Amino acid sequence: MEESSTREKLYELGERRTTGYGFDLVLRILILPLTLAAVLVIASDQETEAVFLALGKGLPGFTADVTVQFQESSSLIYFLVANATAFVVTVATLIVSIANRGLRGGLTLLNLSLDAVLLAVLFASLGAAVDVGLIAYNGLEAARWEKICHAFQRFCNQAAAAFALSATASLLLLSLVIVGAFALYRRIL
């Protein structure tokens, strides 16, 4: 008698495990194009403009063609690598989620752990890139850095679009971590 009630509880638990499965898949599928688009947008971000360069106060200046590209900023390189990594890991965790179907707690915990690490990496890269973007947009008087977005508007706008894509992916990943943590919490009860 006791054995049959244990089987029934395990069966119910198996059904309960699949409750968040569809939402998990939807979030992972939505994260994929956002991180891939962020990578493609920032990787193609380059602009050349004729810029007047002053040699100093009272000295003549000259005009030169100046090219800006994402490779010149370590924070933008970090941003690109973080989003590319998020794309690849999300593909892997999507495959694990499909194979697992929410039934094995160990694989769910692995996915949750990877998602949490990715979330931290994405938020860190986004913070670093946005900080450099704000300096490019506003300048930094204390360091006597001039703003450059008035001269390189397309470059700055394209970077801002990549930041928005990555921020959206980060928020979806945060939702995924919350849903995964809640699903594991429910299994413990």
pTM: 0.80
Kindly provide the b/e burial profile for residues 167-189, where b requires at least 16 CB atoms within 10 angstroms of the residue's own CB.
bbbbebbbbbbebbeebeeeeee
Kindly provide the b/e burial profile for residues 75-101, where b requires at least 16 CB atoms within 10 angstroms of the residue's own CB.
bbebbbebbbbbbebbeebbebbeebe
Rounded distance between C-alpha atoms, residue 159 and residue 162, angstroms:
5
Backbone φ, ψ for residue 49 (5° rounding): -135, 150
DSSP code of residue 148: -
Q: What is the pLDDT along the chain (189 residues), one digit of tens a residue?
A: 455 565 455 445 554 444 567 888 999 999 999 999 999 999 998 777 777 777 777 777 777 777 778 888 899 999 999 999 999 999 999 998 888 775 666 777 888 899 999 999 999 999 999 999 898 888 878 877 778 888 888 888 999 999 999 999 999 999 999 988 887 777 665
Rounded distance between C-alpha atoms, residue 44 and residue 82, angstroms:
16
DSSP code of residue 52: E
What pLDDT, on the 0 to 100 scale, is given for residue 93? 92
